[in-house]
A and B are shown apart, each in its own frame.
Chain A
Amino acid sequence: DTEVTQTPKHLVMGMTNKKSLKCEQHMGHRAMYWYKQKAKKPPELMFVYSYEKLSINESVPSRFSPECPNSSLLNLHLHALQPEDSALYLCASSPPGGGSSYEQYFGPGTRLTVT
């Protein structure tokens, strides 16, 4: 089973709201990722968690706050977003170890609209 699930599928929020995106995988993967994707652009890396610790933060604004409560779950907390943050937010995971460990399996994404 190579399934990564994400909730919600769609989210509309105002600039003063606080919301969270959720991602879950049960493949035993030990690296999890958040990406942002704008229309007609490739996915843009935001954060990487490796063994539940934040290993990469691509200089993302603090209005995005990631959290990894356990090896299967990844959250992205959103606060005071701007309209330009509207995008498809993708979660991915990859297996531990070398070799195939960089194969990333993506979830279906959350379509976020900031009004």
Chain B
Amino acid sequence: EDQVTQSPEALRLQEGESSSLNCSYTVSGLRGLFWYRQDPGKGPEFLFTLYSAGEEKEKERLKATLTKKESFLHITAPKPEDSATYLCAVNSGGYQKVTFGIGTKLQVIP
């Protein structure tokens, strides 16, 4: 069974203070690792898909990286509007089913 563990559960940063969120996973055969951003009371917003170890993707202040056991979401010089819960999810096998982590709640203080 696929497992996803995210850390930390909560993170508080000063505006401009760069940091990283971690997503550790255990799957039988990774087909894709996904990062989402979710604001309170809203649906998750798709950010990135990573397929293989060594892959990196960037979007504005966010950069996602992937190894064989974990993924990192690096946030460079965050702003208050980056405050949200960041969810990691994985898919393995041929099924349209993803396993989500519990998320990291990020708060960026002005």
Give the B-binding residues of A (Cβ under 8 A).
2, 4, 6, 31, 33, 41-43, 45, 48, 50, 55-56, 88, 90, 92, 94, 99-109, 111
How many residues of B sit at the interface, in one of the four size bands? 20 to 34
Q: Are A102 and B31 in contact, with the CB atoms below 8 A?
A: yes
Answer whether A107 and B43 are a contact pair too, CB < 8 Å, given A55-B96, A56-B96, A94-B96: yes
Nearest chain A residue, comparing its CB with the CB of B100: A42
Residues of chain B contacted by A108 (CB below 8 angstroms): 42-43
Given contacts A42-B103, A45-B98, A103-B34, 8 further A-B contacts (CB under 8 A): A6-B43, A56-B96, A56-B97, A102-B34, A103-B49, A104-B46, A106-B43, A106-B45
B44 at the interface (CB under 8 A from A): yes
Nearest chain B residue, comparing its CB with the CB of A90: B43
* Residue contacts A-B, CB under 8 angstroms, 29 given: A42-B87, A42-B101, A43-B44, A43-B87, A45-B98, A48-B96, A48-B97, A50-B96, A55-B96, A56-B95, A90-B44, A92-B43, A99-B51, A101-B96, A102-B32, A102-B34, A102-B49, A102-B96, A103-B34, A103-B46, A103-B49, A104-B46, A104-B98, A106-B44, A106-B45, A106-B46, A109-B41, A109-B43, A111-B41
